[in-house]
């Protein structure tokens, strides 16, 4: 028998405020047409004043618990993937733990920027397989609007806020790739690329939170290459091929990256969950948001083979293959 980490529930939260591309047209030298054609983004959500990453994460976690028919006391661990925590410390995850009324278990944050949810999922899987935890809430939550330079048109139009969560539970499997649950993961990073996407502030440097800086075009070229390679590597570890995949649920940074990666993987866009038009790039929140939307609209069903893949600052990138 093999222990598998199976998704029992999924949920998300988006701030009420929707910001259309026209909002930027009124403020900076850009156009709805440029944003749509270059990125696929039509609108994004921005958190309200006083609305924090942990608040959104708590709402997403509650939705995932509801979806699973479970209560917070059933959970042993909370992992939050975020680069925009409420405070430098304590972790956002411990704030979520308290917000859910949990008095036991453990909680910590994972920081791998836009790849954070993939890294958190792989960590949660390792903890479940090793017997450290039985039920883990894995959350991606971000308030990127707070680290955007609203004068920098090459970045400020691309990002949004939100949170998504999945509840993983240990289950006995056969060890074959017909099992439900996480089947394989592939994680990578290369710190030589730090200048491509970073924030120009931090605790031990400026003492400020800083603003996001990105070399979009070179990153774009790295993204397609590395995302296809990591998805292939994870599928190979799971003993599956492209033909076995029901859904690719990619990090939602840019529709052209999503389409380019699908093409490289020889997959149709009919098998890709796309939310970038409505959410923009929500960094670590984008994949759990897309999983939640994909399940709610009937795309992702039980037993479907799902590949999640992401790349972000670091660079850090990876993929997880699971049977829903």
Catalytic residues: 114, 251, 281
Kindly state the tokens that stand for 158: 């691309």
Q: Which is nearer to ligand UT7, 39 or 54 (CB)?
A: 39
Least distance from C-beta 155 to ligand UT7, angstroms? 7
Q: How far is CA 128 from CA 104, 190, 209, 281, in A?
A: 17, 27, 34, 29
Longest dimension (CA), the chain: 60
Is position 312 an interface residue for ligand UT7 (rule: CB under 6 A)?
yes
Residue 246 DSSP code: S
Q: Report how many residues bind ligand UT7 under the rule CB under 6 A.
A: 20
Q: Which helix (H) or strand (E) holds 272?
A: none
Is position 219 an interface residue for ligand UT7 (rule: CB under 6 A)?
yes
Q: Is 194 exposed, middle or buried (0-12, 13-18, 19+ CB in 10 A)?
A: exposed
Q: Which is nearer to ligand UT7, 43 or 153 (CB)?
A: 153
Tell me how far apart the alpha carbons of residues 199 and 214 are, in angstroms, rounded to a whole number.
Answer: 9
Least distance from C-beta 223 to ligand UT7, angstroms? 4
Q: Which is nearer to ligand UT7, 17 or 38 (CB)?
A: 38
- Report CA dihedral (243, 245, 247, 249) to the nearest 10 degrees: -110
Question: In the beta sheet, which residues pair with residue 108?
Answer: 79
* Binding window for ligand UT7 (CB under 6 A); candidates: 165-173, 185-193, 219-227, 232-240: 219-227
Q: Which is nearer to ligand UT7, 13 or 317 (CB)?
A: 317
Is position 260 an interface residue for ligand UT7 (rule: CB under 6 A)?
no
Is position 189 an interface residue for ligand UT7 (rule: CB under 6 A)?
no
Q: Which residue has the tokens 């979009």?
A: 216
Q: Which residue has the tokens 């289950």?
A: 171
- Per CB under 6 A, the list member of 17, 19, 23, 38 interacting with ligand UT7 is 38
Express the helix, strand and coil content of the chain in percent, nearest 5 each.
Answer: 40, 30, 35
| Closest C-alpha to 275, from 108, 52, 39 | 39
Asked, as a colleague might, if the bond just before 315 is cis with ω within 30 of 0, I would say yes
Q: Which is nearer to ligand UT7, 40 or 181 (CB)?
A: 40
CB atoms within 10 A of CB 244: 14
Is position 34 an interface residue for ligand UT7 (rule: CB under 6 A)?
yes
Least distance from C-beta 101 to ligand UT7, angstroms? 33
Question: In the beta sheet, which residues pair with residue 157?
Answer: none
* Binding window for ligand UT7 (CB under 6 A); candidates: 4-12, 218-226, 242-250, 292-300: 218-226
- Per CB under 6 A, the list member of 168, 223, 319, 321 interacting with ligand UT7 is 223
- Per CB under 6 A, the list member of 153, 213, 237, 242 interacting with ligand UT7 is 153
Question: Whose CB is nearest to ligand UT7?
Answer: 216
- Per CB under 6 A, the list member of 39, 72, 97, 292 interacting with ligand UT7 is 39
- Per CB under 6 A, the list member of 95, 120, 148, 157 interacting with ligand UT7 is 157
Residue pair 266/242 in contact (Cβ under 8 Å)? The answer is yes
Is position 116 an interface residue for ligand UT7 (rule: CB under 6 A)?
no
Q: Which is nearer to ligand UT7, 107 or 285 (CB)?
A: 285
Residue 258 DSSP code: H
Tell me how far apart the alpha carbons of residues 269 and 299 are, in angstroms, rounded to a whole number.
Answer: 13
Give the binding site for ligand UT7 (CB under 6 A). 30, 34, 38-39, 114, 153-154, 157, 197, 216-217, 219-220, 223, 253-254, 257, 281, 311-312
């Amino acid at each position: 028998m093999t222990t598998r980490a199976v998704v029992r529930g999924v949920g998300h939260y988006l701030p009420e405020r929707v910001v259309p591309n026209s909002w930027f047209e009124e403020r900076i030298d850009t156009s709805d047409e440029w944003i749509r054609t270059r990125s696929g983004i039509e609108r994004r959500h921005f958190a309200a004043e006083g609305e924090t990453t942990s608040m959104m994460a708590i709402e997403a976690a509650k939705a995932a618990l509801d979806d699973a028919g479970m209560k917070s006391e059933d959970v042993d661990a909370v992992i939050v993937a975020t680069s925009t925590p409420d405070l430098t410390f304590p972790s956002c995850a411990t704030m979520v733990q308290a917000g859910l009324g949990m008095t036991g278990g453990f909680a910590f944050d994972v920081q791998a920027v836009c790849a954070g949810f993939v890294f958190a999922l792989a960590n949660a899987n390792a903890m479940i397989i090793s017997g450290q935890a039985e039920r883990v809430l894995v959350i991606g939550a971000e308030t990127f609007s707070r680290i955007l330079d609203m004068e920098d048109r090459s970045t400020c139009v691309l990002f949004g806020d939100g949170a998504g969560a999945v509840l993983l539970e240990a289950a006995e499997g056969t060890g074959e790739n017909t099992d439900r649950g996480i089947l394989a993961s592939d994680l990578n990073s290369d710190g030589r690329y730090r200048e491509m996407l970073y924030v120009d502030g931090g605790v031990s440097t400026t003492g400020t939170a800083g603003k996001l800086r990105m070399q979009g075009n070179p990153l774009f070229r790295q993204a397609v290459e590395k995302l296809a390679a990591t998805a292939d590597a994870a599928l190979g570890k799971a003993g599956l091929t492209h033909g076995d995949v029901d859904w690719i649920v990619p990090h939602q940074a840019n529709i052209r990256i999503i389409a380019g990666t699908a093409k490289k993987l020889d997959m149709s866009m009919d098998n890709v969950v796309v939310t970038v038009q409505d959410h923009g790039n929500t960094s670590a929140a984008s994949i759990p948001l897309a999983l939640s939307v994909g399940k709610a609209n009937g795309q992702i069903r039980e037993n479907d083979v799902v590949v999640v893949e992401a790349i972000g600052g670091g660079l850090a990138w990876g993929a997880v293959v699971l049977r829903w």
